[in-house]
Amino acid sequence: MSAPNTKPAETLVALQPSCRKSAAHALTIVRDGVITGEGPTTRGRIHFSRTLDADDAAWCACILTAGAVAHQPVSRAEAEALFEINDAATERSDDGRFDDLLAKAVAHHAASESGLPVPPRTVALSPDTDIASWAPAHAKKIDAQMVEWIASQMRGKRRHNRTLARMVATVLGAAALPLSQLSNVLDIGMM
């Protein structure tokens, strides 16, 4: 995936990660742009604070699928940075791309940390790839601590990511839990 076309060349270089740590840092730059409406990821366009638009989602995808990290699992720091972006954005104009990317990145991290094989990021995070085509289908294969970590990231949030909740419920196998128990784990109530 290429970076948004409206970005100056120096921004593209600054956000090109060399490792998962620098990818996580680049995602915090996107987060800061979402929060303030200013910064290197918003230059050359009108961007309102607390708004996540298609360019912001494209920046995240570009960072997460950069050549230096494309064949490595999504790290905890990268996933946490995506959760921070999700929390920072009170308005969305990205047609759901960020929610899809967040759910897939979290599933990629959870599966790899549980010792399960994952496809390259360029495949797993693609909007053209169905998450169910590669993500684990049985809860017993995902480490319980991973499921709890995901649930802790989702608890008490003002904006619920339906894609992520659905991923937890179906792909991680939490659907096997009684609905009342799933609701308590994720604090999602009636979605």
| pLDDT 10s digits, 103-112 | 999 989 999 9
Secondary structure (3-state) at 46: coil
36, 2 contact by CB (below 8 A): no
pLDDT at residue 135 in the model: 80
Element (DSSP H or E) covering residue 43:
none
pLDDT at residue 143 in the model: 80
pLDDT at residue 13 in the model: 60
pLDDT at residue 162 in the model: 73
pLDDT at residue 188 in the model: 45
pLDDT at residue 8 in the model: 46
Say how many residues make up the chain: 191
Token look-up 């009342």 returns 180
* CA 156/CA 45 separation, integer angstroms: 33
pLDDT at residue 137 in the model: 62
- Number of CB atoms found within 10 A of residue 188's CB: 20
* Strand segments (E) across 20-98: 51-53, 91-93
Residue ranges of the chain with per-residue pLDDT less than 50: 1, 6, 8-9, 139, 171, 174-180, 188-191
pLDDT at residue 142 in the model: 78
Element (DSSP H or E) covering residue 137:
none
User: Would the pTM count as exceeding 0.85?
Assistant: no
* CA 17/CA 13 separation, integer angstroms: 9
